[in-house]
Amino acid sequence: MTRPTDTDRVVIFDTTLRDGEQSPGATMSHEEKLEIAGLLDDMGVDIIEAGFPIASEGDFRAVSEIAKIAKNAVICGLSRANFKDIDRNWEAVRHAKQPRIHTFIGTSPLHRAIPNLTQDEMADLIHETVSHARNLCDNVQWSPMDATRTEWDYLARVVEIAIKAGATTINIPDTVGYTAPVESADLIRRLIAEVPGADEVVFSTHCHNDLGMATANSLAAVAGGARQIECTINGLGERAGNTALEEVVMALKVRHDIMPWTTGIDSTKIMNISRRVSAVSGFPVQYNKAVVGKNAFAHESGIHQDGMLKNPQNFEIMRPEDVGLADTNLVMGKHSGRAALRAKLKDLGFEMGDNQLKDVFVRFKELADRKKEVYDDDLIALVGVTADPESDHLKIKSLKVVCGTEGPQSAELVMLVDGEEKHTVQTGDGPVDASFNAVKALFPHEARLQLYQVHAVTEGTDAQATVSVRLEERGRIFSGQSADTDTVVASVRAYVHALNRLVVRRAKTGPDSDRREISYKDVS
């Protein structure tokens, strides 16, 4: 058999919908998960880790439906080291054209202490659970969580056990972002060289970014012989995030001279999915983020601008169009028609259905009447805040605010609550606070405002503001986004968007249903 590590193909394993979505506040709706899965499949991701089926009924349903609709990608679910988790996982992914079961357990001394297992007890559990998974599915991935802080002798022992039990992929997670590139490469290289059977499986790397080295550690692991990289769009993930898909893909593409490995990713689709993940997760991409940040291809320095005019390669190591970024910025105006808008959005990477285009076109016309110039980023913002059709419990009818240097500021709000028109006037510490108080007066709730962010989409006093709001109720997170040239209006719409999602979740699970927490207590 040809060793998987001898090939030049690197498999991209995307875990945006599982590890990325576990980032506090990044919870996505069911429809958004299906949309993102479709975009990942379309761009050439090899394996989509669609969720944690045992975590909740919603997670199970999302993984199951993604498994049924996936066209090309392997669909994977995550499960802890027990039969119940693995069985539920298999039930969710079994309808995929190419299903995979991923099971894990924490093997470092700190993580072994959580279920209070000895080394031998854990070794036996690994053999039993991996064997059980392999009896259900011929594509099994096993991960020793916190592998980079696990004693070498024990790590080698349990990797060998997992291989003998039938694992086809061995993932080596740097769960807390602790390792460094030279260690990452050496660990993979040593496992392949010294563990019996290692030459018959694919080794994978899963790195977190706590020390800012996730991408470097992942690429180093590939140099050491790993042929699968686990990553997320925009580097989304818990704490400081995960390895960013866009960074490893473009690094391998740009520096193919020293990293002679390829992926199956269509890089021209990167910007589109980056924007959608940012919009649905409520996590804005930092301006100077590599590859997909707003400033990634911007040049302000006079020396840089002069060099760019003479030859873009002076200061750009990749072309904007390589990642799906349009090279024009101002085209649309109030006289532009629907066909022109559709064509422009297609250039920006958005394929729109008729109903969605109709919604965006109405709001585009409204924006064009208020703005002198409509930029690409304005259009992207409009697409990113398209209304959720199932969330119409609350609708803003009118909003008037009074603000100035002398307080308190006030807000007069007329809102439809389940079709019934309600009216109130409330005060607050500023127009946004007053407006939020008005919403809460008409729709009383106990949700806590966890995040409120405002970003200008473009330059100028008539720039659109994009607002992200994150609410927390009984351990469940609800995000809302909106964009408008009036910051207060955008803020209230984003707040109402989040509340509508809260109402939808209540209707499905009941007002007293807490978000289920996953712990090691169920491991047996």
Binding residues: 19, 206, 208, 242
Report the C-alpha gap between 92 and 211 in whole angstroms: 35
Report the C-alpha gap between 402 and 137 in whole angstroms: 63
**Residue 227 near residue 10, CB atoms below 8 Å:** yes
Binding residues for Mn(2+): 19, 206, 208, 242
Report the C-alpha gap between 208 and 155 in whole angstroms: 19
Provide the strand spans (E) within 4-132. 11-14, 47-51, 74-80, 99-106
Report the C-alpha gap between 336 and 357 in whole angstroms: 14
A 10 A CB-CB count for 138 gives: 11
Give phi and psi for 397, each to the nearest 5: -100, -45
**Residue 36 near residue 20, CB atoms below 8 Å:** no
Close Cβ partners of 169 (under 8 Å, ≥ 6 residues apart):
100, 139, 140, 141, 142, 201, 202, 203, 204, 228
Q: What is the DSSP string of 443-497?
A: S----EEEEEEEEESSSSTT--EEEEEEEEETTEEEEEEEEESSHHHHHHHHHHH
- H-type alpha helices, 103-258: 109-112, 119-136, 152-165, 181-194, 214-223, 245-254
The pair of three-digit structure tokens given for residue 190, joined into one six-digit string: 């040593």
Report the C-alpha gap between 94 and 383 in whole angstroms: 34
